[in-house]
Structures are given as C-alpha cells and as structure tokens.
Amino acid sequence: MKTLLLIFLTIHITAFAQPKTPYKFTKTDNAFLDSLQHDTFQYFWKTANPENGLIPDRAPTPSFASIAAVGFGLTSYLVGVERGYISRAQAAERTLKTLRFFAQAPQSEKTTSVTGYKGFFYHFLDMKTGNRFKQVELSTIDTALLLGGILSSQTYFDKNTPAETEIRKLAEQIYERVDWTWIQARKPFVSMGWHPEKGFIDADWKGYNEAMLLYVLALGSPTHPVGADVWPAWTKSYDWAAPRWAAGQPHLNFDPLFGHQYSHVWIDFRGIKDKYMQEKGIDYAENSRRATYANRAYCLESSAKWQDYSPTIWGLTASDGPKDTAVNGRNFFSYRARGAAIQQIVDDGTIAPTAAGGSMAFAPEICLPALQTMKTKYGNKLYGNYGFRDAFNPTYRYPSAFANGSTANGWFDIDYLGIDQGPILLMAENARTNFIWSLMKRNPHIRKGLERAGFTGGWLN
C-alpha cells in the first residue's frame, strides 16, 4: 500500500513539473483545433448584431449583450482573418461599426437611455438599442475586457486605408475617455463598479484575479492614469499558497480558472516579472500553469464524489449549471464561479470546457486531451455549431423539471456563453502561433502599463 501511494505521489508531483521542451502539436491535434477554432469563431461572427457590433451574453437563449463578449469578439475577428474564415475587409467593416457605436453611444449620469459614464460602459446592454440593460452596474472589469479587444483592433489594423485609419482613431478615443481616477473610490484601488442610483460598488479590485489587465490599462492611460502605487498595493493582497492537492507547488490562489486566464489572452506574461514575482522566482504564466494543474488535481482527488471526473474530464471555473437546488443531500448551482483554492471550494460536479480551453497556452499537454475526450465522449450533447456548449454535469441525473437540459445521463447546457467561448478560441491561437501575444507587444499602452507596474525582463527589454 505504501509503495502504491509513493508511486501515485511521484506521478502527481512529476505532472506539475515544468516541461523541458515546448509542446509540439501533432497532425491530429491540429485537425481538432482547426475544427474547434472555426466553430467557436462562428459564435462571435454569426450572433453579433451586424449594425452595432454588440454580441450576446449567451445563445441560443435570447439575451442582452455583454461588453466583455464584444471584447473577445473583436480579437476573434483578427484570428478569423489570420485563419482565413473571413477577409480583412470584412473584419475591418464589422470592427468599424462596433467602434463607431461605442464612440458615439450616449454617456451620462442618467439611469436610462445611456450606454455608460466617464468612459466606462454598463456590464450588459440591450442588443438592439445598446442602452443599459435594466439596472446593471457600470463595470470596470468588463470595460477592461472590452478595451482588450479594442486595443487589439487598433494594433492589427495598421494600413493607411480610410477604414483602418478610422479604427485606430476611434480605439484611441474610446480608451482615452476612460476616467480611471474617477472610479478610485478608495485609493489606490479601482472600484468594481458604479450605479447611478446608489454610487460606487463597495468592493475594490484586490487579491490575485482577472484584474491584471484592468490595472495595466489604468496605469497605461495617456489621459487619466492611476498612480504607480496601485500595483504594489494590489500585490500585497495576494494569497500565495500550495493547496493540499497541488503537489507542493505554491502559486497565487484564485479558485475559478478564468481569473488565471482572462488577462493572459492579451498579455504575454512569459519571462516578464514584477517585483512580487521576482521574489517568488516564477512569472505569471507559470503561475497560471500551476493553477491549471491544481484545478485538474483537485478534480482527480474528487473523482469518487462526482461522476466522470478523471485525468481527461475536469475543469472548474465560472459557468452555467443545472439549478440552485439541493437534491439527495447534494447542493447544485445555476450560474456560479466554481473552483478550488485555499480561499474556498465551490464544486457541484459541473465541468466547463472553457476551463481547459482557456488554459491551452499554459498546459496544452493536459488541456488538449481534456477537450478531445469531452467532445468524443459526449458528442452533440456537449458540442454543437458554435463549438462546446458552456457546461455539463454528469452527476445531475434528476427529473427534467429541475433544470433545462437534465437527462438520464446528466445535465448538458443548451447555451454557449461569449465570455467562455472567447478564451477557448483565443488561447488556442496563442498556444499554436503566439498571434495575439505578439500583436499586443506592439501596443504602446500595454507596454507603458506593464512598465509602470514594475515589470521588467523578457520581451519588455
């Protein structure tokens, strides 16, 4: 028994070790990714409102627009050009309509018939009018994700044609308008958002999470930059630890995997370090790799509790779920940020393909087999016209009255979510070609923000 345990621990620890050579995609791998990227791209291209560029939060269920989904979509169009799905002229036309909408959309303190205020935009917008959806918040992080897409367009469309020149001009105008200092309700931090009805949200961006991109953009602003003191203050709130299942590999903890992925879609953190990571001896890309392995390791440890958890079926992050209910002593959730870290564990047996897909560029050796297995095992219950549906729960085998999509073989989502489709497509491209990473290294705003945050080394030199 001791010998078996030792073998298991040795394999487990070895799996966390950094690979000595980059992963080489096989012919089979590339064929799978060609299909996955093409199908996932269609979500952004076909569901968008072609008149204003707004992209739904989800489909096929009728939905409001998500400004973060628009950010992922704008960068997806660039991948579409590079992959030959659409022409450069088609991408430029759609991008220009999108940027014209955001540049011209009404901004004010009003509660209705507006799109944003102080350069920020509301989290969700009406798909047709572009106005604020109900009473959602003015969202700082979703504005940042939108800007990631906008700045990628600014950098990519570099030709001296009327359309591409206007794209660059509008991108700069939208970025410059964002007043990062206004939303510092409790300096040096940036608030999570604002409501015209009640003011600033009583929470700031602290602790390691998806807000790296937000702070890089706030630091790099040419018009309303935050002070350089925000980055060291932010890193002081990090949680550095090795959870029980992490094979002794410490890393910055944040339970859902999306927090380790979103900023990395647009910024290549390999080889560049701030003061915090210099002291830890790794970079943020390696941190995300360790977090990905830890997420998988937790699922393996929990395989006796939840149906189908295995070395190739795993992945906890924010996603749809069956329903907020308790059945037979088990708690299940609808949309929820699932994950496992020292702060907390949120797990109801729901797996989201974007967890593995969004980490493709960090650990393709475990993420690619996971996606391949999920597609093969579950077929069209999980994979459709736009690639992977958002989530599934093989354990949830209860009457269909409990949740739309529940079957005798588990629950399968009927929807695709824009903020989950984006990382699958874009991180697959970074893993294969470094395309988005290489593109964004040319953007002066990203570089300035990183330098003001104290990053040095690697491509910044």
How do residues 343-383 score in pLDDT, each as one tens digit?
999 999 999 999 999 999 999 999 999 999 999 999 999 99
Order of strands, sheet of 410-412, starting from the edge strand that comes earlier in the sequence: 392-393, 410-412, 406-407
First to last CA, the chain: 52
Q: How far apart are CA 179 and CA 419, in angstroms?
A: 24
Check residue 328 and give its pLDDT.
Answer: 87
Whether residue 451 is predicted with pLDDT greater than 50 in this model: the reply is yes
Rounded Cα distance between 296 and 144, Å, is 28
29 falls in which pLDDT band (50, 70, 90)?
very high
Asked if 142 and 69 touch (Cβ cutoff 8 Å), the reply is: no
Question: How many Å apart are CA 420 and CA 295, to the nearest integer?
Answer: 17
CA 384/CA 390 separation, integer angstroms? 11
Q: How far, in Å, CA of 434 to CA of 270, rounded?
A: 11
* pLDDT exceeds 70 at position 13: no
> Exposure of 232 by Cβ count < 10 A (0-12 exposed, 13-18 middle, 19+ buried)?
middle
Structural domains of the chain, with CATH: 36-460 (1.50.10.140)
- Residue 155 pLDDT more than 60? yes
430-436-442 Cα angle (round to 5): 140
pLDDT at 19: 74
Report whether the peptide linkage leading into residue 311 is cis, meaning its omega lies within 30 degrees of zero. Answer: no
Average pLDDT of the segment spanning 162-170: 98
In terms of phi and psi (left: phi > 0; alpha: psi -120 to 50; beta: otherwise), the region of 193 is: left
Max Cα–Cα distance, the chain, nearest Å:
72
Question: pTM for the whole thing?
Answer: 0.96
Please state the separation of Cα 203 from the chain's center in Å: 21
CA distance 387 to 374: 12
CA–CA gap between residue 429 and residue 418 (Å, rounded): 17
Q: Is the pLDDT of residue 6 over 50?
A: no
pLDDT digits (tens, 9 = 90+) for 226-266: 999 999 999 999 999 999 999 999 999 999 999 999 999 99
Nearest in space to 115 (alpha carbons), one of 124, 106, 126, 128: 106
Tokens of 34: 């060609």
Residue 418 sits at φ, ψ, to 5 deg, of -60, -40
Nearest to 212 by CA among 254, 249, 177, 178: 254
User: Tokens 């206004």 label which residue?
Assistant: 182
Q: Is residue 458 a contact partner of residue 277, using CB atoms and an 8 Å limit?
A: no
pLDDT reported for residue 12? 54
DSSP line for 28-57: HHHHHHHHHHHHHHHHHHHHS-TTT---BS
Taking 50 as the threshold, does the pLDDT of residue 58 lie above it?
yes
Mean pLDDT value across the chain? 95
pLDDT attached to residue 14: 56
- Residue 254 has a pLDDT of 98
pLDDT of residue 409: 85
pLDDT for the residue 9: 45
* pLDDT of residue 407 exceeding 90: no
Q: Residue 443's pLDDT band (boundaries 50, 70, 90)?
A: very high
Residue 283 half-sphere exposure, CB side, CA atoms within 13 Å?
16
Q: Are 264 and 289 in contact (CB under 8 A)?
A: no
Check pLDDT > 70 for residue 86.
yes
Which of residues 13 and 229 earns the better pLDDT score?
A: 229
Q: b or e along 22-37 (b: 16 or more beta carbons within 10 Å of the residue's beta carbon)?
A: ebeeeeebeebbeebb
Share of the chain above pLDDT 70, in %: 95
Query: Would you state the pLDDT for residue 400?
Result: 57
Share of the chain above pLDDT 90, in %: 92
Confidence of residue 398 (pLDDT cuts 50, 70, 90): confident
Q: How many CB atoms neighbour CB 326 within 10 A?
A: 8
